[in-house]
Chain A
Amino acid sequence: MRIQLTPGFVLHERPYRDTSALLELFTREHGRVGVVARGLRSRRSRLRGELQPFCPLLLSWQARGELGTLTGAERRPSAMLAPGDALFGGWYLNELLLRLLARGDPHPGLFDIYAGAVAALAAAEAPAPVLRRFEAGLLQALGYGLVFGHDVESGEPVQPDCDYDYRLESGPVRVPPGQAGGFVFSGARLLAMGEGRFEDAAVEKDARRLMRAALKLYLGDKPLKTREVLESLRR
């Protein structure tokens, strides 16, 4: 099967043989795809400069079995992610996709969310809200979308002035006043998260706590490498 100039990104590159590379692509129409880029690391490769991570690309490959062969790539004009928090944010997005998406499972909606997040990081927006919005979108696309709007036991709408125990596999359950313990969030914060108001630092902080726990359910015990490396750089 030949695929011609379909929108996608390079998520990860690994050296393969002498001059080739194995690329993990994330494409709008075909989801995550593994391809061999022959001669990519050779002196004469013309694709070298085009195939940068975080650049919107038009990709062509020939699929045969598990791994396809890259036959072409065109770069669309875009800004680069600034080294530092923006770039680490981008790497974090890529690691989440590599860990949570299976190959050959298209998610056009998630692709658009990813493309938007990368563009926002490249435009030097504050990375944290961009990452939270992506995490929420990712969980939604994988079918694990978080509930923010109603109490999953009573079915009542979430009240801004009540506290809720967030049960990761179902959703928020109202906590009677005065009772402590559990994984508690205020109703106002949950409603703000549901509206995607992550620019508010307090909302973002709570969202980070919630998303981290929710993602851990699906990531398992193996920690995220980007997070470990970032933490060791900050030390």
Chain B
Amino acid sequence: MSSPLIEELIEALRCLPGVGARTAQRMAYHLLERDRAGGRRLSAVLADAMDRIGHCAQCRTLTEDSVCRLCAGGSRDRSQLCIVETPADVAALEQATDYRGLYFVLMGHLSPLDGVGPAELGLDTLAERFAGGELAEVILATNPTVEGEATAHYISELARREGIRTTRIAHGVPLGGELEYIDGGTLSHAFAGRQEL
């Protein structure tokens, strides 16, 4: 049986995703036995990050600045705005595509049964942005779930009211996939969204 402080450390580490009792114990003993410096650094950075990181005033992504680097920088195309659900989606798109426009992060999707509505998603901030007259295209990159589609639908109506062109990312068969092994939902969506060649 370990001491109360060690127990507390193990319990605290369990708040991390994918970390159960066993892993938390390994992490705690590793830091205590072999890497005190690393542990101190982790605790300092963690405390700093938890205190200082908030949301970008323009795109709502996570940042310690009032406006994030992407929004503040001059190298991006300010006429395109891509709407995503989470900061992780921004990272995924930045790594995978050559998109040069800006982002808006909803930090979720419409989910009426959980009480998540327009206020929680910052749609009022977004509507002001649409009214600003800077945008030529809004790209809706919410997830292809029922909630994601509903969110995209409402945002597209907001954008259309301001006369802004709206586009939705395509979804369907993954690259290198075989039709036989694809689930029915994806396949029927892909089929319904077929394109002229």
Contact = CB atoms under 8 A, between A and B. Distances in A.
A18 B152 CA distance: 26
A80 B145 CA distance: 11
Contacts of A83: 149-150, 152-154
Interface residues of B, number: 24
Interface string B16-53: 01100000000000000000000000000000000000
Interface string B110-133: 101111111100000000000000
Given A83-B150, A226-B112, A233 B117 contact: yes
A39 B35 CA distance: 33
A14 to B, nearest CB: 8
B17 A95 contact: no
A50 B182 CA distance: 11
Interface in B159-192: 182-186, 188
Contacts of B72: none
A49 B186 contact: yes
Nearest to B153: A83
A232 B118 contact: yes
Interface in A156-189: none
Interface in A11-29: 12, 14, 18
Contacts of A95: 112-113
Interface size for chain A: under 10, 10 to 19, 20 to 34, or 35 or more residues?
20 to 34
Contacts, number: 66
B146 interface: yes
A52 B189 CA distance: 12
Interface string A25-64: 0000000000000000000001111101111000000000
7 contacts: A50-B185, A77-B184, A87-B146, A91-B112, A94-B113, A95-B112, A229-B112
Interface of A: 12, 14, 18, 46-50, 52-55, 75, 77, 80-81, 83-84, 87-88, 91, 94-95, 98, 225-226, 228-230, 232-233
Given A229-B115, A229-B117, A233-B154, 17 more contacts: A50-B183, A50-B184, A52-B145, A52-B146, A52-B185, A53-B146, A77-B184, A77-B188, A80-B146, A83-B150, A91-B113, A94-B113, A228-B112, A229-B110, A230-B112, A232-B117, A232-B119
